[in-house]
Structure formats: C-alpha cells, structure tokens
Amino acid sequence: MFQKMFPDIIGPLYLFFGTMGIFLLLKRKIPGIKTRITFLVISTLLGLTAFTPMFPVQFQQLMMGISPGNKPIVAVAAIIFLLLLSTLIFGRIFCGYLCPVGAVSELAYLLKTKKFTGRYGAVISTIRSIAFATLITLAVFWGVSMLDWFGIHAFFHMNTVSPVFYVFLSILFVSVFIYRPLCRTICPMGFMMSLISKFNIFRIQTEKSCTNCTICETKCPTDVPITSRGHNGECYLCFRCADRCIRDSIVYSSNKE
C-alpha cells in the first residue's frame, strides 16, 4: 500500500550502513534494549514503505528465473551474495535487525507473555531443510512461489483483502510465543545463513570473567551453546543472554580474540 514511497536504492544503502552501524555499535558495547527496539521498529517501517520485495522473496524469484522487482537479476544476485558474505564475517546482523520479516517477528516475541521454549533445534533444522528443498524444487522446476503461501508480500503491502495476509498475521501471533517460527523453518535465506553462520568471524562469546553458571544459555531462545564458545548458526544477536549475565561477561568479538 505504501510501497514506492522511497527509491529502490534505499534497500542496499540501508543494508550497507545498517550493517556497518550495528557492527561498530556492537564492537564498542552491546546496545541496550531501547537501541535494539529502535532498529527493529525502523526496519519494520521500512519494510512497510520501501523494501519490495524482501530478500527471501527475491532469492526465490531468482530461483524461478524472475527479475525481482524489475531489477537486474545480476545485481540482485550480487547483493544476496554480499549479504551471505557479510553473515560469514559479522554474523546474522541482517536477520537480527535489518530484515523487516525478522524485525517484526522479534518485536512480537518481545511482548511479555509465557514463551514456549525447549531443546527442539534438531526438529526445527529438519523442517527447515525439507522446506528449503521443497522451495527450490517448486521454484526451479514448476515456477511455483512457495513463500507466497505465507503472506510476506501481502503483509508488507498491507493487502488485507488477500487471505495470505492473515496467514502472516497468524505466524506473527505464533511468534509472540515461539521464537521466530518463520525465520527458523520456512525462510530460504535463514537456511543458508544458519549454515554460513556456524563459521562466522564475529560472534557472541564469553569473557574470562565468566563463571560458567550457564544462566545465559537458559535464556537463549535458540539454544546457542554460548559457554562452550560453540555455534549452531542460530544466533540472531538478540542479546537476551547478555541481558541476564550479571558479570557482564558476554561480548561480541572476533573468534580469534
């Protein structure tokens, strides 16, 4: 509805300056909840007004051989490649703060209510692998756009007459109780970034002052093995772990530090 209020260049610019800005912020100090919410709100609003289509949808369109939003296919492929590269270096800053789908899901989960957490990472990763294989097969061989069923486009275009708008709304409702269900199962970018992110250079780590009490791990919605300095590729840089560490022992730093 409000799309096209901004020129197309706003997407790549926001991606570049947003990633750099958040990276520099994280290197200095883990930002407080107000700063984090500010980024999430800005990304959600930009999703409603400027970004069309979103990266997950653009990736699917590339698989279908369609030029996303009438932009040159090569340019979109190059930006997606750079996004994956930036994930390898900086971790999932894009997913954590800049992607409108992730931002609105994160805002939903911030609502204070009972959460359904648990060690179901293996189940989620199986569903995600099946969803990714299905999406690619449908897109490449039949030209079918699986993401359309989940209403991402309809929601961010405020297309309230489309039934799939309400599918996305339902996912958003589930996101209040379960952490980022769409990101962790359906999104093809999420699948690729979670694989890449296992090897990222900058990540959440514990400092020497850590006493190994593991409170931070119990607060992580995606079961990242923080204290063992391991990585499951599922850190969205939400900093619930850091918020709960009374020793201030969690930092965002290079895995060589």
Nearest CB to ligand SF4, comparing residues 146 and 237? 237
Q: Which residue is nearest to ligand SF4 (CB)?
A: 102
How far is 235 from 241, CA to CA, in rounded Å?
A: 11
* Half-sphere exposure at residue 75, Cβ-oriented, CA atoms within 13 angstroms: 10
Minimum Å gap between C-beta 246 and ligand SF4 is 7
> With 0-12 CB in 10 A as exposed, 13-18 as middle and 19+ as buried, what is 167?
middle
How far is 251 from 217, CA to CA, in rounded Å?
A: 14
Minimum Å gap between C-beta 234 and ligand SF4 is 7
Nearest CB to ligand SF4, comparing residues 97 and 161? 97
Nearest CB to ligand SF4, comparing residues 22 and 226? 226
- Residues making contact with ligand SF4 (CB under 6 A): 55-56, 95, 99, 101-102, 182-183, 187, 189-190, 204, 206, 210-216, 220, 222, 224, 226-227, 235-241, 245, 247, 249-250
Q: Which residues, in sequence order, are CB contacts of 66 under 8 Å at separation 6+?
A: none
Nearest CB to ligand SF4, comparing residues 68 and 102? 102
End-to-end CA distance of the chain: 47
> With 0-12 CB in 10 A as exposed, 13-18 as middle and 19+ as buried, what is 229?
exposed
Nearest CB to ligand SF4, comparing residues 24 and 161? 24
Minimum Å gap between C-beta 206 and ligand SF4 is 4
